[in-house]
A and B are shown apart, each in its own frame.
Chain A
Amino acid sequence: MSENEKLTARDIRSALKQIGVYVDVTEDDLMKIYELALEHAKKEARWKIPVKGIMTKEVVTIGEETTLHQMSALMNQHRISGLPVTDRERHVIGIVTEADLIATICIKRGYSFIRTLKYLFGESLQIPEPAGNENIETTARDVMKTRVITAAPDDDVSQVAAIMDEKKIKRLPVVGPDGKLSGIISRADIVRAIGV
Chain B
Amino acid sequence: MIKTYLLKMKGGAKSPPGVGLTEVFWSLIGSALGIGACGYLSARYFTGMDLTLIIGSFGASAVLIYAAIKSPLAQPRNLIGGHIIGGLVGVACWRLFGSSEWLAGAMAVSLAISAMLMTRTLHPPGGATALIAVIGGAKIHKLGYLYALVPSGLGALVLLVVALVVNNMASGRRYPEFWI
Contact = CB atoms under 8 A, between A and B. Distances in A.
Interface stretch (B11-19, B100-108, B113-121): B11-19
Nearest to A22: B68
B69 A21 contact: yes
Contact of B15 (A9, A26, A29): A26
A27 interface: yes
Contacts of A17: 17
B23 A20 contact: yes
B173 A26 contact: no
Interface string B66-105: 0111110100000000000000000000000000000000
B48 interface: no
- Greatest chain B CB density within 10 A among A20, A25, A29 is at A20
A9 B14 CA distance: 10
Contacts of A29: 13
A28 B11 CA distance: 11
B19 A26 contact: no
A23 B68 CA distance: 6
Interface in A1-47: 9, 13, 16-17, 19-29
Interface string B9-53: 000111111011011000000000000000000000000000000
Interface of B is mostly: loop
The interface size bin for chain B is 10 to 19
A24 B72 CA distance: 9
A19 B73 CA distance: 18
A28 B10 CA distance: 14
B14 A22 contact: no
Contacts of B172: 20-21
A22 B12 contact: no
Interface string A35-78: 00000000000000000000000000000000000000000000
Contacts of B70: 19, 21-24
A13 B15 CA distance: 10
Nearest to B172: A20
B16 A28 contact: no
B14 A28 contact: yes
B19 A27 contact: no
Contacts of B69: 21-22
Contacts of B20: 20
A67 B69 CA distance: 69
Contacts of B71: 22-24
B74 to A, nearest CB: 9
A28 B12 contact: yes
A24 B68 contact: yes
A22 B67 CA distance: 7
Contacts of B73: 24
B124 to A, nearest CB: 11
B14 A27 contact: yes
Nearest to B74: A24
Nearest to B20: A20
Contacts of A13: 14, 17
Contacts of A24: 16, 68, 70-71, 73
18 contacts: A13-B14, A16-B17, A19-B70, A21-B19, A21-B23, A21-B68, A21-B69, A21-B172, A22-B67, A22-B69, A22-B71, A23-B16, A23-B68, A24-B71, A24-B73, A25-B16, A27-B14, A28-B12
Task: Enumerate the 7 nearest inter-chain pairs by beta-carbon distance, A residue then B residue, closest first.
Answer: A28-B13, A26-B13, A24-B71, A22-B68, A20-B172, A17-B17, A24-B68
Interface of A: 9, 13, 16-17, 19-29
